Structure 1
Amino acid sequence: MKINCLFLLTILLAPLSKGEVTSFSNCRQFFVNGVAPTILVDLQNNNRYQQICQCLLDQNDRPVYYYATLYDTANKIPVYSAYEFQHQDVDRTDRWYVEPQLDGGVRTCMGGLSHIPSIDRGRNQAVGKDYDGSGFDKGHLYPVHHTSTQASMLATSTLTNAAPQDPGFNRGQWRRHEEGLALLLGGRCSQAHVVTGVVPGNTQIGNGVRVARFYWSAYCCLETGVSLTSEGYFGPDNNGRVETLTLRDLETRLTGYYGMPFSVFGGKCR
């Protein structure tokens, strides 16, 4: 009996998956100076927050990395996605992926539900049917509008990079924020890192997928030959708009919502 209990305990404490999930080691290039935003911790559930190096397989089945996501398997939405800003006009294709490794699949990178055992699909992440008839959009964290290639555009269309978002806000003020940020960073920065995240609300859709109460975003911009600059954004406010904040004020607000000291760029950008 002791051996069986020990075996069961080992299974319960083991990581959800291996490979590209549970570690940012292969995608630190998407963080300022390789330092990730704060990684949340749940002392009651060591497997709750999963670090994902978001990738697609190339023609030789080798992973190509496009951004990094911290994913909350309890709320089945991301905490944040971090990426290096790139921008040019790319036609959008709605082809939604999932992260097989979160639900027991062995595929190295994002893929379809067929890469997950049928009994486990949606156990630790959102799937497409969770959104069906919900009235909420699949709100990208790393948006299509900030990509520069067909492959990077496709890589944003995974449900581990999306949270249920009010359609009016998603297609209105938040979309205008994404477009305005692209103009700002594209015309000003020689290099820019962006982190976009969500604060979960109390509403759920589908099989326990938490609706985002707030969206937030921040950039760290290296101006040509000058210095690092930053700014933060948070919304919707009571009027459905996106607020502009200093990075410090944004981090103070996120510290309150997440219940632990929160740093977006690890103190590397102010």
Structure 2
Amino acid sequence: MKIYGIVCVLVGVFLALAECDVVSKFQDEPGCIKFFYKGKVPIWGENTAGAAQLCQRFQNRFHFATLYNMHNRIAVYSAFIFQPNNGGGRETRWFVEPQLVNQNWGGEMREGYWLEKDYPGVYQGDKQALNEDYTFSGFDRGHLNPNGFHAVPSRNATFTLTNVVPQNPKLNQNAWANHESKLAKLFKSQCDKAYVLVGAIPSSDNWIIKNDVRRVNIPEYMWNAYCCINQNGVPIRSGAAIALNTEQNVVEEYTLSKMMEFLQKYSETPVGELFDNQCQ
């Protein structure tokens, strides 16, 4: 697998990781691997050409992890732990990942406008989507990791363009939103901790096109999967769902096993477990 990344190094005699968020492996960063149940990173997506493993950093700490496809300029998936929402409203800013522009830049997600002020004339969109790609595209900036699944400041951190995909507005604002609300209620009422994966299946040849350039792949499907554990760390329930990214506006609920069968249709190699021991 070709990974665009940087290596965090030990500095001096202190065993402290340098601040970075585009990493060679999620496992290399303790603050990032915690978003995967028992530290198990799915095999799904690891062979994606031009993939980057992002530890999403905002206000100097990690909030979730994203496997990002720099060719399609959409995420393969985002991995996170559910948090009850404490309000705070929606972000008005959309962030980009500086290290997808230059691996030597700071790892903190930045608003593109201010990144341009620091590095005037440097194009930010070679390896990631930009806010203007979505403008007048007819598609929503569909969160994979939902802002409503977090408390501030993790909620703010979800407003990075590496965490969104072009989503059909009818689906995003109706069936998918309703499914997310259903999951949030379930996680709050029945789970002491919920590990969640949300991803997108890219289309074969459907893109947001700007100035005759294929900029952002429009996914064929949205999908999610979760693993709930109790206060003793024992799995108590799991589930998954898919939705065709069209005005059909339907979400189908799956088991984890059925989700693996679904993902296998889009993989030439074994998909493997999404969670350690299939959340059992």
Q: So what's the TM-score if we normalise by structure 1?
A: 0.85
- Cα shift at 1:252: 1.2
- Cα shift at 1:109: 1.7
- Cα shift at 1:16: 5.2
Q: Which amino acid aligns with 2:224?
A: S
State yes or no: 1:143 paired with 2:146.
yes
| SS of residue in 1 equivalent to 2:185 | helix
Distance 1:107 1:260 in 2: 35
In structure 1, the residue matched to 2:154 is 152
Q: Which amino acid aligns with 1:219?
A: Y
In structure 1, the residue matched to 2:91 is 93
- Cα shift at 1:37: 1.9
| SS of residue in 1 equivalent to 2:263 | helix
In structure 2, the residue matched to 1:261 is 270
- Cα shift at 1:89: 4.0
State yes or no: 1:195 paired with 2:193.
no
In structure 2, the residue matched to 1:51 is 53
In structure 1, the residue matched to 2:102 is 104
Distance 1:221 1:42 in 2: 27
Q: As a proportion of its length, which structure holds more helix? A: 1
- Cα shift at 1:222: 0.9
In structure 2, the residue matched to 1:247 is 256
Distance 1:32 1:268 in 2: 10
In structure 2, the residue matched to 1:115 is 115
Unmatched 5+ residue regions in structure 1?
1-12, 58-62
Q: Which amino acid aligns with 1:73?
A: M
In structure 1, the residue matched to 2:219 is 212
Unmatched 5+ residue regions in structure 2?
8-19
| SS of residue in 2 equivalent to 1:75 | coil
Indicate how the Cα distance of structure 1 residues 97 and 240 shifts in structure 2: closer, same or farther if over 3 A, else same: same
Distance 1:42 1:244 in 2: 26
Distance 1:190 1:139 in 2: 27
Give the % identical residues: 34
* Aligned residues between the structures: 249
1:230 equivalent among 234, 238, 259: 238
Q: Which amino acid aligns with 1:229?
A: R
**Cα deviation digits, residues 27-46 of structure 1 (max 9, x gap):** 01100001112252448x4x
In structure 1, the residue matched to 2:13 is none
| SS of residue in 2 equivalent to 1:67 | strand
Distance 1:79 1:266 in 2: 19
Distance 1:39 1:171 in 2: 27
Q: How big is the alpha-carbon RMSD for the aligned residues of Structure 1 and Structure 2?
A: 2.2
Q: So what's the TM-score if we normalise by structure 2?
A: 0.82
Distance 1:81 1:68 in 2: 6
Q: Which amino acid aligns with 1:115?
A: L
2:133 equivalent among 130, 133, 146: 130
Distance 2:4 2:189 in 1: 43
Distance 2:179 2:3 in 1: 40
| SS of residue in 2 equivalent to 1:233 | strand
**Cα deviation digits, residues 201-258 of structure 1 (max 9, x gap):** 1311145200121110011001356643210111138842101111011011112123
In structure 1, the residue matched to 2:17 is none
Q: Which amino acid aligns with 1:241?
A: V
